[in-house]
Amino acid sequence: MSNKWWMEGVGYQIYLKTFYDSDNDGIGDIQGVIQKLDYIKDLGIDFIWLSPFNTSPMDDNGYDISDFYDVNKLFGSLNDLKQLIETAHKLDIKIVMDLVLNHTSDEHPWFIESRRNKTNKYRDYYIWHKGTSGGFPNNWGSFFGGSAWKLDNTTNEYYMKIFSDKMPDLNWENENMRNELYSMINWWIDFGMDGFRVDAISHIDRDRSFENSKLANGKTVVLDTSKFSNLPKVHIYLKDMSKNVFKKRGVMTVGEVGGEPTSHDVLSYAGYESQELDIVFTFDHMWCFDSDSHNTNLLGMKKVFKRYQNGLFDKGWNTLYWENHDQIRHLSKYGDTEKYHKESAKMLCLALYFMWGTPFVYNGQEIGMYNYPFEKIENFNDVSIHTRYELLKKQGADLDEFIAQQAFETRDNARTAMQWDNTKYAGFTKRKNDMLINPNYTKINVLQQQKDKNSILNFHKKVFKIRKSELYKNILIYGKFKMLFEEHENVLSYVRTYKNKSIIVVANFFEKQAVIELSDIDTDKLIISNYTNICKHSEGLILRPYEAMAFELENI
Ligand code: GLC
């Protein structure tokens, strides 16, 4: 496999709506991204993954597209996008577009036609089914709560929608529909896109028997992902799309693949031999904490890292990320948001980004933004929270408990305004707006961290510089990974090796001090650390709260 730009580069995900508002209408926009390109370049970023910018009624913040070929007026215009691509390219930054192919908005012209009658050309672009005597065609639940089906009164049939009611699922069995998608993707490649993040792609095949799930246990509906995740035809569809578009045009692709995939599963999507995608995002390292205490389950996390670091090596490529727009802020689950905010943020940065794979940073992660203090339902924006809240309300459930739980878990935590400085509205906009602004912005913001040479922001820059430096590039980008101290409950440690050169990383994931038996480490070979000195005694290395270090190792 030859080296590709996306193997050596660092990606930055921008959630447009809350990133930077250039025209002060209260909503982030494409011109806002253009204005921040120098900041992004300075961070060491090589490509930007832009959250969906297409025309959309914004039921799911743009993942519900009503026109694939245009830009949502909230974010700007096609001209703005052209300007963004050109300006970014001049800075050697590539642009990766979010491609939503599992569903459209119910306001998309295809669906408007499809629901009109049972005989029109677009009927079969979506998945329609008759109801049963009990109502829904079956007991399948949706990711956002409630049934995976919605009754449409015009033809008295149900359409499938595994996300919100306003996001009908496309029928990938229909070849015309697939060809229309291919044309659309080709159009965006001609427009200048360098790559695609392919949304929810593991769901495009369904269990066509539509038989009830056996997991229901008496409930009317149940979320049984085995009915629409990672089913065999997904690979047939992807191979065809790749042959006609992705591989043919040489663009980069990163797919979203949930559902505890084994390394074998990942390789079937994105192995060098697979002819489907280049890389995928998996999710299992996102859930390594206790749901009550929120304590990190480091042993579980190590198993996940090992699975992909070793299982994909030489056969495919890997991704490295802590956050995205669907996840809570990582410091709120794996780090510390108070006394050791800085130490834990730097530790998590080093521990992850010295591993093997392409790093992705989610906007705000690089300054250590953390969860928002949600208190009431009105604080939330996410359609999935409101859907589930209404269902629970009908059932008479404890809504306060739901809110408390969601305050920690909601993906809205990642969608608060980017904190640029300590002026009103965190420098995100000048105008009063509906965006959530985390009250911690007066302490945690870009401007303040640019001035502090020991900031989390500057630590990220340093880590990316080291990854790309002539001295360490081969080891950190192409080197093999070996986990050390596998059974240690508090410390993550590994070695990266390329030819006869190695780097060892040690990271304490907790506040409690830890000791590891590494007495033969040469402390003069320190590459980077989140403390100012090293604590070593005869038994080995002492790791203070959230301490992390990397050293060169000779001749191993
Ligand atoms: C993906 C997106 C998420 C969206 C869903 C439906 O998981 O990341 O934000 O809600 O797909 O498009």
Write down the mean pLDDT value for the chain: 96
Distance from Cα 323 to the centre of ligand 1, integer Å: 14
Distance from Cα 325 to the centre of ligand 1, integer Å: 9
Distance, CA of 345 to CA of 351 (rounded, Å): 10
What are the structure tokens assigned to 263, written together?
């390394």
How does pLDDT run across 400-416, given as a tens digit for each residue?
999 999 999 999 999 99
Answer whether 379's CB lies under 8 Å from 386's CB. no
Answer whether 528's CB lies under 8 Å from 550's CB. yes
Distance, CA of 40 to CA of 197 (rounded, Å): 19
Give residue for tokens 């108070």.
Answer: 338
How much of the chain, in percent, has pLDDT values that exceed 90? 94
Specify whether 256 is catalytic. Answer: yes
**205-209 own/partner pairs: CB under 8 Å, 24+ apart:** 205/172, 205/231, 205/232, 205/233, 205/234, 205/237, 206/127, 206/160, 206/169, 206/231, 207/231, 208/173
Confidence check: pLDDT of 169 > 80: yes
How does pLDDT run across 283-336, given as a tens digit for each residue?
999 999 998 899 999 999 999 999 999 999 999 999 999 999 999 999 999 999
Of all atoms in ligand 1, which is nearest to the CA of residue 384?
10
Of all atoms in ligand 1, which is nearest to the CA of residue 163?
6
Confidence label for 2 from pLDDT (cuts 50, 70 and 90): confident
Confidence label for 260 from pLDDT (cuts 50, 70 and 90): confident
State pTM to two decimals: 0.97
How much of the chain, in percent, has pLDDT values that exceed 70? 100
Distance, CA of 419 to CA of 227 (rounded, Å): 40
Contacts of 528 (CB under 8 A, 6+ apart): 350, 462, 463, 466, 549, 550
The answer, yes or no, to whether any atom of ligand 1 lies below 6 A from the CB of 553, is no
How does pLDDT run across 112-151, given as a tens digit for each residue?
999 999 999 999 999 999 999 989 999 999 999 999 999 9
The pLDDT score that the predictor gives to residue 519 is 75
Helices 175-191 & 233-241 angle (0-180, nearest 10): 40
Distance from Cα 285 to the centre of ligand 1, integer Å: 18
From the candidates 29, 165, 256, 382, which is the catalytic residue? 256
The answer, yes or no, to whether any atom of ligand 1 lies below 6 A from the CB of 200, is yes
In the predicted model, what is the mean pLDDT of residues 89-104? 98
Confidence label for 92 from pLDDT (cuts 50, 70 and 90): very high
Confidence check: pLDDT of 556 > 60: no
Confidence check: pLDDT of 254 > 60: yes
Confidence label for 539 from pLDDT (cuts 50, 70 and 90): confident
Strands (E), 458-521: 480-484, 491-498, 501-508, 514-516
The answer, yes or no, to whether any atom of ligand 1 lies below 6 A from the CB of 199, is yes
Return the residue whose CA atom lies nearest to atom 2 of ligand 1: 199
Specify whether 199 is catalytic. Answer: yes
The pLDDT score that the predictor gives to residue 521 is 86
Closest CA to 1 of 245, 265, 278: 278
Of all atoms in ligand 1, which is nearest to the CA of residue 64?
12
Strands (E), 124-227: 128-129, 149-152, 157-160, 195-199
Helix (H) or strand (E) holding 13: strand 11-14
Distance from Cα 222 to the centre of ligand 1, integer Å: 19
Closest CA to 295 of 516, 489, 456: 489
In the predicted model, what is the mean pLDDT of residues 376-403? 95
Distance from Cα 548 to the centre of ligand 1, integer Å: 33
Give the CB-side neighbour count of residue 55, counting CA atoms within 13 A: 12
Distance, CA of 259 to CA of 130 (rounded, Å): 29
